[in-house]
Structure 1
Amino acid sequence: MASGIRVLHVDDDPQFTDLAAAFLPRHGDDLTVESAHTVEDALARLDAERIDCVVSDHDLTATTGIDFLETVRERYPDLPFILFTSKGSEEVASRAISAGVTDYLQKQRGTEQFELLANRIEHAVERLRSQRTADNRKRRLETLVSNLPGMIYQCRNESGWPMEYVAGETERLVGYTPEELQSGDVEWGADVLHPDERERTWEIVQEAIEDDEPFECTYRVVASDGSIKWMWERGRITERPPSAAELTAVDGETERVLEGFITDITPLKEREAELERSERRFRAIFEDPNVLVGLLAPDGTVRDVNRTALEYVDAEREELIGAAFRETPWWPETSRPDVDEWIERAASGAYVEFESKHPVPGGDSVFVEGMFRPVTDDEGAVTAIVVSARDVTARRERERELRRQHDRLDEFASFISHDFQTPIATARGRLELALETDDEAHIERAIDAVDRIDELRTDLAETLRNGEVVADPEPIAVEEALEYVWATADPGAGASYEVVDPVEIEADPEAFHRLLQNLVRNSIEHGDDDVTVRMGPLEDGFFYEDDGPGVDPSIREELFAPGFSTKPDGTGVGLGMASVRQVVAGHGWEIEVTDASALGGARFEIRDT
């Protein structure tokens, strides 16, 4: 990094702070570590020294790391703060995030943890420094834009108006650089000014010069990309002393030049053109069969409605004209206060967007989106209000379906991420054993786990591509599927499984493997090293059971909820059983946890609905 990073490490364990101070600089690029063992000492150092990042434990003497974090945030809102703690729980993580922690890292055994911590520190400081640089640049740019929303110039008052000096946003205005305009490569009057504007603009400027008055003019230009834009210019003739090189040629006389300011008024011109077209457009909108249109007086009285709007109410035009808009059949009584507010705002000159649910003949309802548009006279007074709306009921239903699909895919992605953990752990463990024992059998088991990882990756890609969490079913032999999953789960040597009778089901193979993987993983995690698993047929499905501790009846309803965990220390987020529930639901099955296990443990019965 360009400059050093000063880290304040806060931990009430002096041995651990000494260890961190020794190892962090080995892994960080120019890291300097200061240690503090109390919050009071840490705050004093923050006030007295330049600190780039704070690393703090959670359990501190007489307080917590989160309380310390909240104090730091009050004094130094942007300072990177990493909670580096052995106390890991969902509650601590949630509180830390709410308090504005930059990063959250749990302590591990060994010194490798300091390499990860050093990396997190560098990234946090780098992000802050990059953001500050970007903020400074943005402020400078905003200042320039606010002070010079156009270009200033000095030019000779002759054909082509050759520029002698140009500064400002010339590229934004016309696409040419100041250097191009000053050098004579591009002449404002000959190359930029629209051909149809040259004679008129020349006359305006010369007349002002004769009267010794400033001039103002509006004209079109042709930008470098060929687009037509509108400019507003204000300037005047002024005297410029000649340069040393010009003294002889002009006998020391001053030269008269034009100086002024030019800015882009294309948006203003477009708005003016829009106003001119508004009456014609209103007629076109009024006859549009896809738009509901009403014309109101400023007080909300209905003046007219189009045929499309009449299709949504059980009333004739004659019954509606002259009525208060809020009381017409388009609006339920609960919407009337909103209608009053929209009319009041539009009558004051505001454009008011709205969305609403409307009753329609037959007892159904539709959703519409639209706008209250004020119509003004030359003095700016509102003379009428145009209300236009479109029926968006079908679009909203499509959006809801897309949101539901997105939620399903988001949930699926979380479950797949969780399901990766078992084969990854298996591969890592077997490779470590292979290195220790030189037994190639461990490599074969690791390859099986890697194949499972590749299958999960392929399944994830296919699911995200076609949007289906469960693909088309095909016949599956349960015994073969359990044998495959058992190998990738890599249970203890004393663990065993059996399928009491041949079972064949119709299912998506990859999804069914995920279901079994999570059930087996649950049995291994909650059972002994010699856990036994058994599967067999039911009349309309199949069962899965083990000889573990079983499932407490009080938690069976929560068991399949995302985030539920039965770990005694409350750590971790349970996604495995939620993944089981997703696969079951995707196949149109139902799952039940029962007390009927012949092995004395948990029993899951899965049936067609």
Structure 2
Amino acid sequence: MSAEPAAMTVLHVDDDGEFAALTTELLERQSDRIGVVSAATGDEALDLLERESIDCVVSDYEMGETDGLELLAAIRERHDGLPFILFTGRGSEEIASEAISAGVTDYIRKGRGTDQFALLANRIENAVEQARSRVSYRAVFENTDVGLTIRDVETGRVVDVNQQYCDLLGYDRETLGELGIAEITADVPGYDAERGVELLERALAEPAFTFEWPDRRSDGSTNWVEVDATLVEIEGRERSLVTVHDVHERHEREAVLATLHQAATDIQECKTIEAACDRTVAAAESILEFEMCSVMVAEDGWLVPKAVSSGAPADGARRMRPDQGLAGETYRTGESALVEDVLTDDVSEPANESYRSGISVPIGETGVFQAVAAEPNAFSQEDLELAELLVSHTARALDRLRFEAELRRQNDRLEEFASVVSHDLRNPLTVAQGELELARENHDSEHLAHLGDALDRMANITEDTLRLARHGGSVEDPRRVDLGTFADRCWSVVSTDDATLTVENVVIRADDGRLQHVLENLFRNAVEHGSTSPRSTSSHEDGAIAVRIGGLPDGFYVEDDGVGIPEAERDRVFEPGHTTTETGTGFGLAIVEEFATAHGWDVQVTESEAGGARFEFTGVERLD
């Protein structure tokens, strides 16, 4: 429901009391929006204007000592913009011209009959509505919290600017109103007056379109603003209203975040912990503008400085215990801290007595980043948040570097172990097997047969141990593998007796060398441990095992219809050395799990629909 039109109070000034009373009666009869108060003289009218809220003045021209135009001049001095209608019996062209030049809102001659009052009422309503519109427009224009510029649609010339825009750029109204787009555009590549005009025209044509622009402040600095434009009618003329929002802080933050993203990439590419720490400090100096900062890393029970900014004093950082000072608390709790004044902080133990404020940020579980300043309250919550963002990348880089270092140490130990197995065990074993063959040529003994079996089992354990030691690392270059073709090839090199293999069409990404050992070991496990199952005779009259490979949503499975693996033993089958036969090495399924883990897969053992063993591999990248 639309609002009712607002009422308006009219001051009628006329020294003819009888005509004034008639005017009041007829005006109020013509419009229920109009209420009339009367004054007989100019002084009385001015007094009423000071005491009451008047929306329009209607005045006669001739009124004793003061005429209507003299009253208009007095009113304009005190109430500029108040509608003033000259309603007079004199109608010469000279009076009309003088009235218009003086700035009356309207000029109406008194006439006979009541029609003149209908016309007067209509002119009053129009004048008041226009005045209210102007007042509302100015109130919004001046009191809004965004910059506003009004431009001529045809010429693009600035007609008006509000004080907010002047304050934003540091100009007075007169100066800013005379500057063109080129003169208020900062020197930023890709932004010029031609592009500015193009974007303003697009904003006028597309109501939802806005754009960011680099304005030049009066001191030469750049202030980023968001601009939109729309066509409006102001005082009967079409204008373009350009709205300017100050987005400089947001723009600067986005620029910092983008630069931090690049710095994060550089940190992640570091090959050493020292390099990652150095780049973190360099980024904090250049991007976050921290003059004094450091990175401390936990080593041998201490927090040790690994990188210190160039602006820090010589004694700006020192080795500290994990239970010492703000650095120690940050490391232990894993929580960031902002210290406004070191002198009032009970935890801080600054390395240099000149430090008065600072921030402390944990680097994961690896160390601590700190920035300090020589004056109190030098850091904001935003500084702390940006430091946390930067340091989060450092934490990932240090975790990776430490993991890689530990992996290298493990690989070195495994290689050393493999060397011992290869030379110190394999060589004597080979000699023993050779001596056994010579003994068999001269003696035929049951004891020699048992000895041969034991030596063969030792040889198998040795080979499995070497395989685990040398191929258990993470997969570096997986390739496309079609399990159908690949599994058939693996099946052909395993002694499978009368067992059968069925493979679904599954394509994955894997290291074919290690995948071959996985499948071969599972095939051997199925044939050697599952062939005694009476269940297998239900589908194979000769009791042969049936092995099947199929797909899972995120991987594949290998199952058989043999005796299966009891639920109580399923958690132990992957343990090195665990076996249920005298001839098994106990490493077959351990190799399966190790090589699956090297791919980043998970493997679980469960029961197949036929009651046999089922090995499920998940987390696998499928390509079919």
Note whether the superposition's TM-score is higher than 0.5. no
Look at both structures and tell me which one has the larger radius of gyration over its CA atoms: 2
**TM-score, normalisation: structure 1:** 0.29
